[in-house]
Structure 1
Amino acid sequence: MKEETMDKVDDKFSVESEASGSISAEMELQVDNDAVIPVIPLFFIVFLVALCGIVYELIIGTCSSYLLGDSVYQFSLTIGLYLSAMGIGSYLSKKVENRLLNVLFAVEIAIGLAGGFSGLFLLAAYTNTDYYHPIMFLLIILIGAMAGFEIPILVRILEKQANLRETLANVLTFDYAGALIGSLAFPLLILPAMGVVKGAIVVGLINIFAAFLTVIFCRRAMDGTFKLLVAATAVGAGLLFSFARADEVTKILESRLFNHRVVFKAHTRYQKLDLTRWHNDIRLYINNHMQFCSVDEYRYHEPLVHPAMSLAGGGGRVLILGGGDGLAARELLKYPDLKEIVLVDIDPDIVKLCRENPLISKLNEGALDNPKLTVVSMDAYKYVEQNPERFDCILIDLPDPNNVSLSKLYTKTFYMLVRSRLKPHGALALQSTSLYFAPKSFWCIHETMKAAGFFVRGYHVTIPSFGDWGFQLASLNSFEPGDLRVKVPTRYLDDREMKNIFAIAEDEIYRGEKLACNTLIFPKVLQYYAMEWKKW
């Protein structure tokens, strides 16, 4: 009888507990050793874990894009490996049966260590070893596996709540929210303000902070944390020390990427900028690709500008797409009949650098401050799409089509938009990578322009720092290169050389299979470019 009475009491207590569980579990939960811990901090830890994970993923993809090029491939590889590794980590988490909070704390420390130093590891691997890819793969798999390991552990801790359905919903809500904030914070704040090396270190410190939060709010449910606290303190101190010395170490490592001393570097919202100097040799690099060398840049900018200006009549209004260094504008300002230059560059920071840095402003002769020039900070594609104005001459001075964002500026659609912004007598010139090193890319651009309705002639020059470099000269009407004349003072290009640059050698004429037109849907020039430059 006494046992039956006790059973009824237990049943009543169980029913009452279930009824009140959803309310009390919102604020605290009871773990295996009867210690009660708050739930909200654990949800916040889920948020931080997701934020850090997505940022590490972006840092590794960005590093690989900067160092190896082909951003689509690098990010696809990073995302695929990372997600697969998360699956491995999630699977392995089932082998942990107890002391879940201690395990979570240890994993946070390990991720903070691996992820926090990921930018530095990758840069050091690229500049000091031939094993960049194995090290990159190892980092992705290691960080991804630990990130995948954490979420199931957190779910199992939180499933002490009465309702597993609500637990999963809450965990995934905070997980996705953290991923959203991380994916926004990286391009808008972390990358432009700190770069990949210091940015990774800061995110590593967030992981260590999450580890300490675990102890602060869950210490009653944990035991044997002294060694873990020492490890977390050591890793945190190491990250702080590395943050303080990051600029110095990065400068040393990056100097190995370039032959000359780095005198300026920055991560803008759009790209990585490096300026190097050796005596009078000034070089600007964007994402580790050289944009100009002060010793011979005139052999690039004179052929870009003067054939088109000769064909267009040498005056009027000129549109420059790209050209934020002001060097093409310098050549244009030699024409007395020039009325206006509109320079469209997506990155205002590169224009600011080339306007304010005395090394570059001396080279461009203050062109970016000339009253005839107007700077528009806008994507070139959007500008020609939205702006109805027409120009006498258009110069496209953009980087090579080495990623999808740039490839769209070499498409038939883009050239048709540019064509609609050109006056009937106008001329268009653009750089189109190396005729010798990347002939398929060069002739693909050539054929794409023809498909957009231009009459096109390809030409090329020798630039010591670049090699044999190609250009396209186009108009709405047919023309003969022999009729072009140089009408302003130059250092390299004269009337005789104007004729010579249009001569294409036999081994530079492409005679292979028919080249596809480059379009938005099928960016063939990106494929050609990646294949050809990989050989060199």
Structure 2
Amino acid sequence: MNAIVTPVPNRAEPLILLSATFIISICGLIYELLAGTLSSYLLGDSVYQFSIVIGLFVSSMGVGSFLSRYMPEPLEQSFTVAQTLTGILGGSSAPLLFFAFTWLDHYNFYLFFICISLGGLVGLEVPLVTRILERHHTLKVNISNVLTIDYIGALAAALLFPLLLMPLLGLMGTSLLFGLLNVSIAIIMIWLFKDRVNVKLLSIIAGTGFIFLSTLLFHSEKILNLMERRLYQAPIIFAETTPYQRLVLTRQQDRFRLYINGGLQFDSFDEYRYHEALVHPVMNLAVRPERILILGGGDGMAAREVLKYSQVQHITLVDLDERVTQLFSENPLLTPLNSFALKNAKVSIINKDAWDFLDDSNDYYDVVIIDLPDPQNSNLSKLYTKEFYSRISSRLTQGGLVVTQATSPFFARSAFWCINNTLDATPSPLREGATLYTQPYHSYVPSFGLWGFVIAGHHQVDWSTFTLPNAVELNYLYPEVLESLIHFSADTAFVNTAINTLQAHPLLDYYQIDSKRWFP
């Protein structure tokens, strides 16, 4: 026997259904954004991942809309079942994809399954709601109302996801919470349509789904930590999703590793090799290294190396993510890694996009150090374009130099030389019709293998004049090492490439092709 409930007046049904449509629309787009974002975090190549997710999702919505004509009566029951299944699958999509990446093979199979299934279920929504509302309004009114609400819901989701949900809940929490919201809508529909649906059967299905998702949400942090620990093969001491990226810090005794979006950023056992190679050549080849700009490098380790030079007057460090600079300036476990550089009076920290900073700045610098992540997506690739380098060259003093990390000349040979060639094609504002001079070089960092760098400036640097001051304490860059850094073997030697520009991002293609060759 069904429980006694208060009947809902017939005139309230359209308002409740349209309100439900608004929530369902938000949930649908959130699932789509979750799949694209999570795949970008785990696999890189955000353009490809979002293109695949959006393409599969939208085309499957079309299939779902087509299949809605075959949904059995009563339509209210079909609609309620569809919402329950959408909530269960959408809510568990992030945990399932994390699990597939860390424990199973064929990640793309599970991604495609989720996108196609969810797209099909979401595609049923508009046709079914429109048909259910037939008893209340004409077709043109129903279509107008349902589509208006649906599109407004999509806008709400697009704003909520980056501004509120990701910073506060992260991927796992957002997925499970909106799954619960979807199932809650199904429960409301059971109550609304109690005289037209199998209340007992639907209550069991929806109730089971709600309990399942609630359990996952309650244990979501433990589940995420378990998966990430398997992924990173070390105890995790810090993990947080910021508005910009996923940060994970691991520790094994006195060894620290920082990962951003799943990619290793440094290993405390050998990071000095990378940072000494990045900083000291340019500091000794610049004419007067007094005012320094560091783009990226929020861990403070490049600043640590710069501060070894007494002539440095000021360092401006620009890093997009405030959480990174806060972590490495305040955490007592991490501040010794950069010798408390971010607390030094000579260092000013600005949390801002590097491109925007250069557009707004009127200052000139003797040395610019670019310590940004690899160009694995279009947002990062734009920071390796001719247009970006032109902004930097206009901020260099006459004897100033810029250095950038440039990926691996071995594992990403074409990408490395593309960065060099793009800098080489960047106009020099001090010499009409001329471009920047470049000096490519490399260093061996055990955690990353052979790693490349490029120095560029208005004047040609003479590597043979490069000597290291005795007062500067180093662990790797001894004089006998310096000469070897500018010599490239046959398998890393120069290759001709296209120039990386905002109009076209050949660097992104080079990087992805090279990466897939070594890490398929």
TM-score range (shorter-chain normalised) is over 0.9
Q: Map of 1:103-114 to 2, 5 A cutoff?
A: 103-114=78-89
Which amino acid counterpart does residue 157 of structure 1 have in structure 2? I
Q: 1:443 to 1:469 in 2, by over 3 A?
A: same
Amino acid at match of 1:225: V
Q: Where does residue 24 of structure 2 map in the other structure?
A: 49
Give the letter for the 1:355 counterpart. Answer: S
Structure-2 separation of matches of 1:37 and 1:214: 13
The amino acid across from 1:532 in the alignment is: D
> Which residue, out of 440, 445, 455, partners 1:463?
445
**Alignment counterpart, residue 287 of structure 1, candidates 253, 258, 261:** 261
Q: Deviations over 1:167-217 (max 9, x none)?
A: 111111110111111111111111121211121000101101211221333
2-side partners of 1:162 and 1:229: how far apart? 29
Conserved? CA contact 2:445–2:451, under 8 Å: yes
Whether contact under 8 Å (1:89, 1:149) holds in the other structure is: yes
Which of 115, 124, 133 matches 1:140?
115
Q: 1:129 and 1:67, CA in 2 relative to 1: closer, same or farther beyond 3 A?
A: same
Who is 1:164 aligned against? 139
Q: Is the 8 A contact 2:288 2:400 kept in 1?
A: no
The offset of 1:334, in angstroms, is: 1.0
Alignment of 1:427-506 (within 5 A): 427-452=401-426, 453-487=435-469, 488-506=472-490
Structural mapping, 1:126-525, within 5 Å: 126-220=101-195, 222-313=196-287, 315-452=289-426, 453-487=435-469, 488-511=472-495, 514-525=496-507
Aligned counterparts of 1:139 and 1:128: Cα–Cα separation in 2: 17
Residue 226 (structure 1) shift: 1.3
Cα deviation for residue 313 of structure 1 reads 4.1
**Distance apart, 1:482 and its partner CA:** 1.0
* Structure 1 residues 67 and 241: alpha-carbon distance in aligned structure 2, compared to 1, 3 A threshold: same
In 1, are the aligned partners of 2:190 and 2:197 still within 8 Å (CA)?
A: no
The whole-number CA distance in structure 1 between the counterparts of 2:254 and 2:248 is 16
Q: Is the 8 A contact 1:270 1:347 kept in 2?
A: yes
- Determine if contact 1:274/1:285 at 8 Å carries over to the other structure: yes
Name the residue aligned to 1:19: none
SS at match of 1:239: helix
Q: How many residues align?
A: 502
Helix, strand or coil: the match of 1:508?
Answer: coil
- Give the whole-Å Cα distance in 2 for the aligned partners of 1:313 and 1:331: 18
Cα deviations by residue, 1:395-416 (Å, 9 ceiling, x for unpaired): 0000000000000000001111
2:296 partner amino acid: G
Return the alpha-carbon distance in structure 2 between the equivalents of residues 288 and 477 of structure 1. 38
| Distance in 1 (alpha carbons) for counterparts of 2:139 and 2:309 | 75
Higher mean C-alpha displacement, 497-506 vs 434-443: 497-506
| 1:272-312 C-alpha deviation (Å, 9 max, x unpaired) | 11101112210000010000000000000011111111112
Give the distance between the partners of 2:137 and 2:209, measured in 1 at CA. Answer: 36
3-state SS of 2:363 partner? coil
The equivalent of 2:3 in structure 1 is none
Deviations for 1:77-110, whole angstroms, at most 9, x for unmatched residues?
0000000110111111001242111111111110
Deviation, 1:369, is 1.2
CA displacement at 1:506 relative to structure 2: 2.6
For structure 2, list consecutive stretches of 5 or more residues without a partner in the other structure.
Answer: 1-6, 427-434
Change (3 A) 1:173 1:478: same
Counterpart code for 1:328: A
Secondary structure at the counterpart of residue 283 of structure 1: strand
SS in 2 for 1:138: helix
Q: Does 1:532 align with 2:507?
A: no
Q: CA deviation at 1:37?
A: 4.8
User: What's the Cα RMSD here?
Assistant: 1.5
1:521 to 1:29, Cα distance in 2 relative to 1, 3 A: farther
CA deviation vs aligned residue, 1:339-361 (integer Å, no higher than 9, x gap): 11101111111111222222221
2:308 is paired with a residue of what secondary structure? coil
CA contact (8 A) 1:102 1:225 kept: no
2:145 is paired with a residue whose SS is helix
User: Quick one: distance in 2 between partners of 1:502 and 1:87?
Assistant: 56
Q: Distance in 2 between matches of 1:139 and 1:95?
A: 22
SS in 1 for 2:473: coil
SS of residue in 2 equivalent to 1:506: coil
Partners of 1:159 and 1:264 lie apart in 2 by: 54
Report the Cα distance in structure 1 between the residues aligned to 2:178 and 2:121, rounded to whole angstroms: 15
Give the equivalent residue in structure 2 for 1:5. Answer: none
Runs of 4+ in 1 over 6 A off after TM superposition: none
TM-score, normalised relative to structure 2: 0.94
Q: Secondary structure of 2:52's match?
A: helix
178-187 or 441-450: bigger deviation: 178-187
Preserved CA contact (<8 Å) 1:37 1:218: no
- CA distance in 1: counterparts of 2:257 and 2:468, whole angstroms: 27
Shift of 1:469: 0.3
How far has the Cα of 1:326 moved from its partner? Answer: 0.5
Partner deviation per Cα, 1:355-396 (whole Å, 9 max, x = no partner): 222222110111111111111111111111221210010000
Structure 1 residue 259, shift from structure 2 partner: 2.2
Measured after TM superposition, the shift of residue 494 of structure 1 is 2.4
Give the CA deviation at 1:38: 2.3
> What SS class does the counterpart of residue 284 from structure 1 fall into?
strand
Once the two structures are TM-superposed, the CA of residue 335 in structure 1 deviates from its matched residue by 1.1
| Partner residue, 1:25 | none
Amino acid at match of 1:348: E
Aligned equivalents of 2:277, 2:387: Cα separation in 1? 25
Q: Tell me how far apart the structure 2 counterparts of residues 330 and 159 of structure 1 sit (CA, whole Å).
A: 69
Judge conservation of contact 2:190–2:202 (CA < 8 Å) in 1: no
Which runs of 5 or more residues in structure 1 are unaligned?
Answer: 1-27
Contact 2:14 2:136 in 1 (8 A): no
Deviations 1:396-452 (A, max 9, x none): 000000000000000001111100000000111110000111110010100100100
Q: CA deviation at 1:333?
A: 1.0
Q: For the Cα contact (< 8 Å) 1:29–1:160, is it kept in 2?
A: no
| In 2: Cα distance, 1:479 partner to 1:178 partner | 57
After superposition, the C-alpha distances for 1:246-291 in whole angstroms (9 at most, x for unaligned) are 1111111111211211111111101111101112210000010000
What one-letter code is carried by the residue in structure 2 that aligns with 1:494? Y
